[in-house]
């Protein structure tokens, strides 16, 4: 088959996927950008701001809970979008201030969680999607480590994917392919082609959030916006609103797509 014909076949397949699998409702880019502005200075202020944004997005009452890590200002914030089935997808991002041990600031990723939640609420989902804003380190372990370590065997078995978000908006969306589950990477590439949004590969030096879940055999993928120069220098490029909105739209579509196509972990490679 010649390349031009093959390209047409691929485009046809992606168009079919788009019509059937991508049902989500992105909110206004102005709202997304308004939420990421004015970064709170301290962990306590960040904690309070995230809870406020989840409530604004419609996540409150029993759906919005906390898991203490070290104190009131260092608690994991958990928003649960209940699905019709038993399986779940975890979407996590750190919200703590950078420290001497960790110079990265995941606020741009954490503050996107309420907007992603809001974009998925227009229809019933098969998976329960659990959005977790991870606290920083307390008592020698991070919020992500505590959350993963306290999962029951049943919760681990029912979790089909963990999407770890790091710094976003500094450049077009990036994926850490070498550290991510191949099936989850493939699904992200399909989403990228269907939604016609940018994506490229840049491996980062570490991601404690995803590593904690990988240790429990939970398929995971890390998405960020750092360039190779950013990783090498340890400094992120300036924040760009257009990149941030593109990442939001891509990740919202990605979660909607995963909800329809993910197979149980035991059936992944059959």
CB 196 within 8 A of CB 235: no
What structural domains does the chain harbor?
A: 17-262 (3.40.630.10)
C-alpha span between 194 and 185 (Å, rounded): 14
Q: What is the pLDDT along the chain (270 residues), one digit of tens a residue?
A: 444 443 433 444 455 555 557 789 999 999 999 999 988 888 889 999 999 999 999 999 999 999 998 765 679 999 999 999 999 999 999 998 765 444 557 899 999 999 999 999 998 999 999 999 998 776 667 889 999 999 999 999 999 999 999 999 999 999 999 889 999 999 999 999 889 999 999 988 766 677 889 889 999 999 999 988 877 777 778 899 999 999 999 999 999 999 999 976 666 555
Task: Name the DSSP letter for residue 162.
Answer: E
Strands 128-134 and 75-81: antiparallel
Spatial CA neighbour of 92 closest among 121, 67, 55, 124:
67
Q: What are phi and psi of 198, to 5 degrees?
A: -75, 150
The label of the residue with tokens 């939001």 reads 248
**Number of other CB atoms surrounding residue 217 within 10 Å:** 11
Identify whether the C-beta of residue 141 lies closer than 8 Å to the C-beta of residue 161.
no
Nearest to 205 by CA among 131, 103, 111: 103
């Amino acid at each position: 088959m010649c390349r031009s014909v093959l390209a047409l076949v691929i485009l046809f397949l992606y168009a079919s996927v788009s019509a059937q699998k991508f049902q989500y409702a992105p909110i206004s880019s102005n709202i997304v950008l308004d939420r990421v502005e004015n970064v709170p200075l301290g962990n306590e202020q960040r904690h309070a701001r995230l809870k406020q944004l989840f409530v604004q997005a419609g996540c409150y009452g029993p759906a919005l809970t906390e898991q203490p890590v070290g104190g009131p200002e260092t608690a994991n914030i958990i928003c649960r979008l209940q699905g019709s089935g038993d399986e779940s997808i975890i979407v996590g991002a750190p919200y703590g201030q950078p420290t001497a041990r960790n110079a990265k600031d995941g606020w741009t990723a954490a503050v996107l969680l309420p907007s992603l939640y809001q974009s998925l609420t227009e229809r019933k989902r098969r998976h329960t999607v659990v959005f977790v804003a991870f606290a920083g380190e307390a008592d020698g372990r991070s919020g992500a480590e505590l959350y993963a370590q306290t999962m029951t065997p049943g919760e681990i078995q029912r979790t089909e994917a963990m999407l770890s978000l790091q710094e976003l908006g500094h450049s077009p969306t990036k994926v850490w392919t070498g550290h991510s589950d191949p099936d989850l990477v493939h699904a992200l590439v399909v989403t990228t082609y269907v939604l016609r949004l940018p994506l490229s590969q840049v491996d980062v030096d570490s991601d404690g959030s995803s590593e904690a879940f990988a240790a429990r055999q939970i398929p995971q993928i890390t998405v960020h916006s750092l360039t190779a120069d950013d990783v090498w220098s340890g400094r992120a490029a300036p924040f760009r609103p257009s990149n941030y909105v593109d990442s939001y739209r891509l990740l919202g579509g990605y979660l909607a797509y995963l909800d329809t196509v993910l197979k149980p972990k035991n059936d992944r490679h059959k």
